[in-house]
Amino acid sequence: MRTLLLRAASFLVLATAVCAYAQRASDIDPMLGADKGGNVFVGPTLPFGMAKPGPDYGDNEGNAGWQATGNLNGFSQLHVSGTGGGPKYGNILIQPMMGKADPAHSSVPRESEHAEVGYYSVGLGGTGIRAEITTARRTPVYRFTYPAKGQRTLLVDVGHLLLKLHDTPHRYPETQVVYSTDVEVLSPTEIAGSQASVMGWNIQTTPMRVYFYLVTDTPAVVSGTWANGKSVQPGAKTASYKMPFTMKNLPEPTPVVSTGAYLTFAPGAKPVMVKVGVSFVSIAQAKKNAMTEVAGFDFDGTRRAAVAAWNKELATVKITGGTASERQQFATGLYHSMLMPVDRTGENPLWTSTTPYYDDFYCIWDTFRSSTPLLTLLAPHRVTAILQSLLEIQDHDGFFLDGRSGNFSGRTQGGSDAEMMFTDAYLKHLPGLDWERVYRAMVHDADVNSPESIRFGRGDMDDWKRLGYLSIEHSDPAGGPDRPGSRSMEYAANDYAVALMAKGLHHDADAKKFMARSENWKKLWKADAVDHTEGGDVKGFIWIRHADGRWKANFNPRLVGTWYQDNFYEASTWTYSLYVPQDVRGLIATAGGKAAFKRRLDLFFAPGEPGRYRYDVGNEPGFLSPYLYNWIGEQSSSAKRIRAIPPASYHTGLDGLPGNDDSGAMGSFLVFNQMGFFPVAAQDVYLIGSPTFPQSTIHLGNGKSFSVVADNTSPANVYIEKATWNGKPYHRSWFTHEQLMAGGELRLTMGSKPAHWDTGAPPPSMSDKEK
């Protein structure tokens, strides 16, 4: 009997270990990474959905509305997810309360907060009110359950925005400012209006107007409005506000002005249902959205539809094994990668077009390395639509954007990284784009100096063409550097992307020109620069120069740039001295050869180093760094570094991300690493890592499937002992997109000790032609 029980137990363990998990909405925790700078959106939304209704807490300075501390101020209809810098949106706040309308005293403590895909709920402390939210694409739906006794009121604050008033020195002009508002009580069940705002993270100077149409299933017995933060006016039907200053003389801090309307309902036990159609075009369009997207006030049906939409997107990936925590992190990483950019097709107020329209690129600098390549595998049709939108926006702006929000392009964090997205798609044969048209736009972006490079395109192109780098003087004429080191490195990578497309389209002269420019990074390599580390000296780093060729004095390899007036953006020279994705082979030679390069990498990842001047998973420029060992035949070292990252930097819970999620960049980086491979952006190459899961399968859009199988993988067995591709021995530490799309299986045998299995050719580099 004991033998039978042991066999049964063994069978159960085995069955659990090999159980296949198709990703489902129920595996996701929308609150994972909401705190400690992750800044993810916690409310309900659809994949790439425009409406993102959710709570705004505390001082209204949470980038996505949610904060760990502070009272609940209400629920606004639009948010971003995972961003840094100043917040955006937080438009049209609604807040239920008991008794008479009192906008000045409507904030309350939260109670029993809960979030899952397509649903958010919270109790309003001290009121007995329970708020529940779900949403359609452009129409949030609310269910407010009030106590049965007492007047029930719903406030609609049209002057509400998320702010940035306290975080110096960058609070201004990043805080949003209300430009104008208007609101009207249309009937005992309807309120409509709009709000125009300026500024925010992208320094928006053209007002963004959001329209809304709110309707309830419960007629009000009293209604009214208030304006300019003054007392409510019962019976009043309209209210409005206009900013009393110009864009050129905005005061600091800018004032926060509350204007809105309210509905007060008779006592009753039945929940009050509310839906809010939102539009960037008109009130009429907002009303149409509300009436066509949600049948009546069907809260539960809308919620089920949201879950179904997410399940459809998630079904393209299946994993086996792993812990419950690892599976939740994986599913949530997929989820975060599909929150932005936002599909606003039909909601473009600037021009009429049948082309898909997307907004909230926040920013391409963050997403081109991992988020977009992941979507190319999981939802290629979506990437095509996003690129079509980017190309049409370029037609109107004149240059490719890096960031865009509120129908206004800005800011640019580094290079012109839309070029990386387009070349990535071109090399992976995405359909639906006129590649010659794309190419013309890319060449224009790469050759013409943008008049507003902080908004779109490239700046300081005279330096780039004449000197081969951005000089200290010209990168910021007002004084001080403006990311000349990081921008120069990115321009070189961008030019390689242009060169690859030029070569593919047989523009041979252009290909030669841009290929040569992609080597400009060497002009910033300061061969005698030294960092005296705990593990010994490291010599040779990227550093910045004056226009006359002089190096900037006082080399400091441990200085981490955090803002626009720094040498490097969001990293140190340690990171950017490893950022030459177009020519890692050339970088290795420049840095002293394979042995010196391995030593540099080992010190870059050395544990216990103070500060974040070396490897920092929380910022995107270092995403490729753990895989660089693959180019020197040391894939086992890549495996070691890659497997160390998730347990050290990712976990479940509110603080589960290592930094700003950045539109799914952090989540998609984890997803790729857990599956066991990672893309080289703007190339058709994937690098083999160390899989977390025994098997990961992607169902490709061409009807085929690709699997990575990792036999014996475990926290101890992180090294690859041998590999096969469709049953045949495989010795390269990389593979191509063409190989992946043909379907099949990469099978890895994992062990606890390093093994030199990667004896084949290293991953491609630009300088391979010199062999």
User: Which residue stretches of 398-483 are H helix?
Assistant: 418-427, 435-447, 461-466, 472-475
pLDDT of residue 6: 37
When pLDDT is cut at 50, 70 and 90, the band that residue 17 belongs to is: very low
When pLDDT is cut at 50, 70 and 90, the band that residue 5 belongs to is: very low
pLDDT of residue 254: 66
Rounded mean pLDDT, 308-333? 98
Strands (E), 139-216: 140-145, 152-157, 176-187, 190-199, 204-216
Judge contact between 568 and 577, C-beta under 8 A. Answer: no
96-113 pLDDT, tens digit per residue, is: 999 999 999 999 999 999
pLDDT of residue 7: 40
Sort strands 204-216 and 20-22 into parallel, antiparallel or unpaired: unpaired
Rounded mean pLDDT, 213-239? 97
pLDDT, the chain, mean: 94
Q: Which of 374-388, 410-424, 440-454, 554-568 comes out lowest in average pLDDT? A: 554-568
Three-state SS at 374: helix
CATH code linked to domain 26-311:
2.70.98.10
Q: What angle do CA 554, 559, 564 make, to 5 degrees?
A: 105
Q: What angle do CA 255, 75, 221 make, to 5 degrees?
A: 100
684-713 pLDDT, tens digit per residue, is: 999 999 999 999 999 999 999 999 999 999
Q: In Å, what is the CA distance from 42 to each residue of 60, 332, 450, 760? A: 15, 12, 37, 46
Rounded mean pLDDT, 188-204? 96
Question: Of 769 and 259, which is predicted with more confidence?
Answer: 259
Using CB atoms within 10 Å of the CB of residue 426, give its burial: 0 to 12 exposed, 13 to 18 middle, 19+ buried: buried
Query: Which backbone phi and psi does 671 adopt, to 5 degrees?
Result: -60, -50
CA distance 57 to 69: 7
pLDDT of residue 676: 99
Question: Of 127 and 253, which is predicted with more confidence?
Answer: 127
Rounded mean pLDDT, 18-28? 80
Q: Which of 28-37, 170-179, 293-302, 386-395 comes out lowest in average pLDDT? A: 170-179
So what's the architecture of 322-770 in CATH? 2-Layer Sandwich (3.30)
When pLDDT is cut at 50, 70 and 90, the band that residue 229 belongs to is: confident
Q: Which of 288-302, 488-502, 563-577, 750-764 comes out lowest in average pLDDT? A: 563-577
**Domain map of the chain by residue range?**
26-311, 322-770
Q: What angle do CA 666, 669, 673 make, to 5 degrees?
A: 140
711-745 pLDDT, tens digit per residue, is: 999 999 999 999 999 999 999 999 999 999 999 99
What percent of the chain clears pLDDT 70, i.e. is strictly above it? 94
pLDDT of 769 over the 90 cut = no
Three-state SS at 274: strand
Assess whether the region 26-311 and the region 322-770 belong to the same CATH fold. Answer: no
pLDDT of residue 244: 86
When pLDDT is cut at 50, 70 and 90, the band that residue 16 belongs to is: very low
When pLDDT is cut at 50, 70 and 90, the band that residue 618 belongs to is: very high
pLDDT of residue 248: 78
When pLDDT is cut at 50, 70 and 90, the band that residue 174 belongs to is: confident
pTM: 0.96
pLDDT of residue 770: 52
pLDDT of residue 688: 99
Query: How many distinct helices (H) and strands (E) make up the chain?
Result: 19, 32
Position of tokens 């208007």? 182
Q: Which of 216-230, 358-372, 479-493 comes out lowest in average pLDDT? A: 479-493
Three-state SS at 502: helix
